[in-house]
Amino acid sequence: MFDAPAPGQMFRSLAVATSLALLSSCAEAPAQKPASAPLPQASQPAAKTPAAPAQAPVVMPAISFNDWRDGFRREALANGIDASLFDRAFAGITPDPTVITADRSQPEFTRPVWEYLEGAMSTYRVRKGQALIAEHAATLDAIEQRFGVDREPLVAIWGMESSFGQFMGDKSVIRSLATLAYEGRRPAFAHEQLLAALQILQHGDIQPASMLGSWAGAMGQTQFIPTTYNSHAVDFDGDGRRDIWNSSADALASAAHYLQASGWRKGQPAALQVQLPAGFDYAHADADIRKSVAQWQAMGVQVSPQAASLAGESASLLLPAGHRGPAFLVLDNFRAILKYNNSSSYALAVSLLGERFDGGGQIVGNWPRDERPLSRSERVELQESLSAAGYDPGSADGIIGANTRKAIRGYQQRLGWPADGFPTQKLLENLRLQ
């Protein structure tokens, strides 16, 4: 499930698609590498301009796959995995080269946040979600009662993660994770997930041939990684199995269980669109700066009358496209969604899509559609240039995280520009001139 995927945390330790690069600043694309949560699959922003993906250096393992598998087998058995189950799960398993290609791909281009949100809230997705809310009303009633999680954002997550169960991934989870544990960039993480996947099989929830998912090992209608599955998956339909692949009740209840554990507050919005006063200090648009809604209002931030009951709630200011675009106050439920997928664009999409199911979620204001997002190469150049100018953006990895935004704000303040921490072509050009 923008910020350094950070995914993320809930189910995010390994992400699920090919977009490792985040969109600029707070308008990043859904994180591809969650820390321990489900992973968005069908909703990943696609590259706007075709380009050959940059490849990370290839470091081949020192041992053969068979030797690695035999060593992992000994460890799995020592951790309680049945020998016959292991052998059945690994029958015919060989490294999957397409998984390694996906793992090493770093897309050069990303879509601007407004295009991502428009895709997330497509007419089809809104109408399909509305129909499913009506169809599964009784189940959603029971889930709300048990977990205290509102149905609209829950169904929005369902739509974002797998297009309501239509696109869950068709790769063997065991093969994908074995490949990543053997020669991926994050072998320790994949190793942990692979052991957890075997525990799922041993529990009897799914058979090896049916345990399918993304190249990164995210599974089912809610795209859980195995460790998240083991800690939060729920048998809600009462058939004795936690089946997030074939049971929408189990999948939705499992996601609700995770959001509940992440601090979800029933009946409260995740984000409020607001209007900022003239001369506002945009440096306050920082996820680490939290004020009560009343304190934001005292600073001139205009909130809708419907938000009167939220005056005492803690909120941060989000500018997903910088000071030229719409502004939002984001609350505790937004932060709960971030634990599912540590991307502010994803969390905003879930919030707005959930509101759209009830006829809301309309964005007031204009996006800076003339602003072309920086490519990955340009983001790396921006970070290197900021460092050369005496600011500390962190490592030049092309990810616009908290350190890079802080460095951008410092440079913007030096220029006398609105210090919104948002990377732009104009900012990069100015750094080039220096």
At CA 299, angle to CA 331 and CA 324, rounded to 5?
A: 75
CA nearest neighbour of 223 among 2, 35, 41 = 41
**Which segment of 13-27, 61-75, 91-105, 266-280 scores lowest on mean pLDDT?**
13-27
DSSP string, 254-269: HHHHHHHHTT--TT--
In a domain, 266, yes or no: no
113 is written with which tokens? Answer: 């946040």
In a domain, 410, yes or no: yes
In a domain, 157, yes or no: no
What global pTM score does this model have? 0.86
> 182: Cβ–Cβ under 8 A, 6 or more apart, which residues?
61, 65, 68, 69, 95
Query: What per-residue string of b and e applies to 168-185 under the rule 16 or more CB within 10 Å gives b?
Result: bbebbbbbbbbbbbbbbe
One-letter amino acid for residue 356 of the chain: R
CA nearest neighbour of 20 among 34, 36, 37 = 34
Number of domains in the chain: 1
CA nearest neighbour of 211 among 241, 183, 236 = 241
Determine the pLDDT at residue 19: 33
> 78: Cβ–Cβ under 8 A, 6 or more apart, which residues?
none
Tokens 């938000």 found at: 307
pLDDT digits (tens, 9 = 90+) for 378-410: 999 999 999 999 999 999 999 999 999 999 999
Beta bridge partners of 320: 322
pLDDT digits (tens, 9 = 90+) for 1-39: 333 333 333 344 343 333 333 333 333 434 333 333 443
- Its domain, for residue 423, covers 376-433
